[in-house]
Amino acid sequence: MSSPRKVPPKASARRARSPRITTAAAVSAGWGLSEFTEVAESRVHAAALGPDGAPEVVCVHGLGCSHRYFLPLAQQLAAHLRVVAVDLPGFGQTPGPPAALDIRGLSLALADWLRATRRARVPLIANSAGCQVVVDLATHSPELLGPIVLVGATVDRRARSHPQQLWRLICDVPFENPALVPLLARDYLTCGPRRFLATFQHMLADRIEEKLRLIRVPAAVVRGKRDPIAPAAWGRELAARLPAGRYVEVAGAGHAVNFSSPVKLARITRALLEDRMPDEDGA
């Protein structure tokens, strides 16, 4: 088997080998612990909730969001699992480089962080653009992948344009918990409009559907039945392209199932982790 032998000296790679991980008690409202890791040329923040020593799951947020909108899901899962929600570079409390990272850049950073914190093969729950980042892991670091839950995966290949996506985002608002709006407004401001737009551009250029065949771990494609951003045809296509994919719809939910229907998503997640077939509607 081959392995890369000659690596150009890279600051991030050197640091990744001996990461400095520091923790702070509950700096983010509602979460149990904040964890900071010096990797990927940044100081990556992750919020954790759940008992010490319990099996972990990692949450990966979408465009402009952060760990914060995973709190309702984390509270549902925290009885038996330790939920760790990471902030990708440039979002939430993780500083990013001046120029927005593309999907590959974000997935390389996520891979560095997973390796540094010894979270290889930990189950991943991703929402929206986070799904693109998680799927991209398969192109360079498939050994890091555990079971995957893709919630409201983007970007529907039939609507890869700014106006279409913007319209769909607006259409999604009535189906979300109203508390999501102020929360997202703050997260969007944290990341800033320039990074938001540049990342959006990178999202449109990424063809998630062409990479799904590389994912050999069990994966569930979950979408809210009312989600206009990831329509049913798109969700079914993604599940069909996954070698070990399942398709689950959550009744009444919109795009951010993790925030607006956390109970049902928690049920689906537990079913996947216990290797049971998640039922329609997560019941």
Binding interface with other proteins (CB under 8 A): 1-8, 104-105, 108, 111, 139-142, 205-208, 210-211, 213-214
Q: Please report the sign of the dihedral spanned by the C-alpha atoms of residue 112, residue 43, residue 203, residue 122.
A: positive
What minimum distance in Å lies between the beta carbon of 140 and other proteins? 4
What minimum distance in Å lies between the beta carbon of 179 and other proteins? 36
Composition of the chain by helix, strand, coil, percent to 5: 45, 20, 40
Q: Is 244 helix (H, G, I), strand (E, B) or coil?
A: coil
**CB-nearer residue toward other proteins: 38 or 102:** 102
Which amino acid is present at 12?
S
**CB-nearer residue toward other proteins: 186 or 213:** 213
**CB-nearer residue toward other proteins: 202 or 255:** 202
**CB-nearer residue toward other proteins: 205 or 232:** 205
Q: Which residues does residue 23 pair with via DSSP β-bridges, in sequence order? A: 35
**Phi and psi torsions of 153, nearest 5°:** -65, 140
Residue that has been written with the tokens 């990797």 in this structure: 39
**Phi and psi torsions of 247, nearest 5°:** -120, 125
What minimum distance in Å lies between the beta carbon of 139 and other proteins? 5
How far is it, in rounded angstroms, from Cα 144 to Cα 142? 5
**CB-nearer residue toward other proteins: 162 or 213:** 213
What minimum distance in Å lies between the beta carbon of 6 and other proteins? 5
How far is it, in rounded angstroms, from Cα 78 to Cα 20? 26
What minimum distance in Å lies between the beta carbon of 206 and other proteins? 7
